[in-house]
Amino acid sequence: MKSLFVTMEKDPRETRVALIPSGAQKLSAAGWEVNVESGAGVKSGFSDADYQAAGAKIVGREAVKEADFVVAVRKPDISEVPNFKKGSFHLSLLDPFNEKALIKAFADCGVSAASFEMIPRSTIAQKMDVLSSQSNLAGYCAVIKAVGIINRIAPMMMTPAGTISPLKFFVIGVGVAGLQAIATAKRLGARVEAFDTRPVVEEQVKSLGAKFVKIDLGDTGQTAQGYAKALTPEQLELQRKGMAKVCAQSDVVITTAKLFGRKAPRLLNADMVAGMKPGSVIVDMAVEGGGNVEGSIPDQVAITPNGVSIIGDTCLEASVPATASQMFSSNVCNFIEHFMRDGNFVVDREDPIMKSALVAANGEILDDRFKM
Ligand code: NAD
């Protein structure tokens, strides 16, 4: 396999590109013919000339028909799949739980498709884990966005004009994004509290200098992949009761709680939001998956009658596209490098990473969960 095609993202909200010029240079040096759709890098700060200088060719969208390997940030439109070369390989964020028709189209067209979401959470796969690299940035951006619209400063200041108390943050869900949100808020001088249903997180929260909020929910735990298990309705009610007071006392609440492949849990109901101070800010990082917060709206800042702003940004990392694309590109290169055998990219189905990430191959859908 030798020719790689980097597509321009079609979603108007998307600012990232899957491969940046330094990645193109690396793959060219490894023997790939790198073709980049004209304009693909512009929104993240990389011109066609930058790619050309890195050894890539600038091409039109029709070049997808000739490519052995197509890489993108987001899934392609289903209508485009028949244009892909039979026997080619596609890699992007395919959202396979919600895109069963698309996965079927890949199988029907004889295209092998791998989903970034399905890359396993193992130490060896960490360097190609797009969910982690992008969540990390999203956690940072959540804090920056909240601080950008709140009417107060983050750090404590002792001045002749009086003492200013620090902002109080409450981070709910302390995975990759939550940990970065805590670290960023601490760097800005805020006071931070956090909660997660996975008890293992308490030590990590404390190590960042934040306070772990204790709420006894009984048996919670995590899956073998490190994801949180879904709570029962009774446990969720207990959790909301335990968190209501902390939310009411916080200036900024950031919710990051997702349940892989399922709808996000509802953590803040309208009463809890109504109990918060006017001027306070909520960032619902799970808004795309159904929302942790009642009243959050995808890609809008909703303002409640009591003056609480709810930020519902569905792709926070897209607001730092140069950094986000740099990390994405590095994940892509690491994935490709992992499967190079004697100078060729090999779809090694015995490899645990490929086994997990590959969702369609040889005309088949490989996971029953993605069958229509
Ligand atoms: P995620 O995006 O699925 O969820 C975010 C957080 O929300 C998680 O910490 C989860 O426990 C929490 N959550 C779920 N329901 C909740 C509820 N009702 N209330 C409060 N919190 C709730 O998770 P993530 O950020 O992708 O990572 C989860 C874990 O996996 C972390 O420990 C992370 O370090 C680990 N991880 C490992 C690897 C690897 O080894 N390659 C890669 C990525 C993540």
Tens digits of residue pLDDT in 131-166: 999 999 999 999 999 999 999 999 999 999 999 999
User: Residue 226 pLDDT more than 80?
Assistant: no
User: Residue 1 pLDDT more than 70?
Assistant: no
Same domain, 153 and 289: yes
Report pLDDT for 223: 78
Closest by CA to 141, choosing from 326, 295, 313, is 313
Same domain, 218 and 306: yes
Same domain, 29 and 158: no
Same domain, 173 and 285: yes
Same domain, 146 and 281: yes
Tens digits of residue pLDDT in 344-359: 999 999 999 999 999 9
Helix-helix angle 176-187:130-149, to 10 degrees: 40
Closest by CA to 246, choosing from 284, 270, 219, 215, is 215
Range of the domain at 55: 3-118+320-360
Token pair 């670290």 is at which residue?
Answer: 183
User: Residue 73 pLDDT more than 90?
Assistant: yes
- Interval between CA 118 and ligand 1 midpoint (Å): 15
Report pLDDT for 155: 98
| Closest residue to atom 42 of ligand 1, CA basis | 121
CA-to-CA distance for 142 and 172, rounded, in angstroms?
A: 12
- Whether 129 lines ligand 1, by a CB cut-off of 6 Å, is yes
Closest by CA to 109, choosing from 368, 364, 366, is 364
CA-to-CA distance for 112 and 88, rounded, in angstroms?
A: 6
Tens digits of residue pLDDT in 86-120: 999 999 999 999 999 999 999 999 999 999 999 99
CA-to-CA distance for 177 and 211, rounded, in angstroms?
A: 17
Taking the model in full, what pTM does it have? 0.94
User: Residue 364 pLDDT more than 70?
Assistant: yes
Number of CB atoms found within 10 A of residue 82's CB: 12
Same domain, 270 and 336: no
Burial 99-132 (b: 16+ CB within 10 A, else e): beebbbbbbebebbbbbbbbbebeeebeebbbbb
User: Residue 251 pLDDT more than 70?
Assistant: yes
Same domain, 40 and 83: yes
- Whether 257 lines ligand 1, by a CB cut-off of 6 Å, is yes
Same domain, 228 and 252: yes
Report pLDDT for 29: 95
Report pLDDT for 294: 97
Same domain, 196 and 280: yes
Burial 180-197 (b: 16+ CB within 10 A, else e): bbbbbbbebebbbbbbbb
Report pLDDT for 262: 85
| Closest residue to atom 16 of ligand 1, CA basis | 257
CA-to-CA distance for 323 and 346, rounded, in angstroms?
A: 29
Same domain, 111 and 203: no
Beta-bridged to residue 158, according to DSSP, are 163
| Closest residue to atom 4 of ligand 1, CA basis | 258
369 lies in some domain:
no
Tens digits of residue pLDDT in 166-222: 999 999 999 999 999 999 999 999 999 999 998 889 999 999 999 999 998 888 877
Report pLDDT for 28: 97
Closest by CA to 75, choosing from 113, 112, 109, 38, is 113
Report pLDDT for 38: 98
Beta-bridged to residue 283, according to DSSP, are 254, 311
Within 8 A by CB and 6+ apart from 241, the residues are none
> What residues are labeled active site?
121, 126, 129, 132, 227
Same domain, 176 and 306: yes
Mean pLDDT of the chain: 96
Q: Are 320 and 134 in contact (CB under 8 A)?
A: no
56 pLDDT band (50/70/90 cuts)? very high
Tens digits of residue pLDDT in 258-294: 888 789 999 999 999 999 999 999 999 999 999 999 9
Same domain, 294 and 188: yes
Q: Are 317 and 347 in contact (CB under 8 A)?
A: no
Domain count, the chain: 2
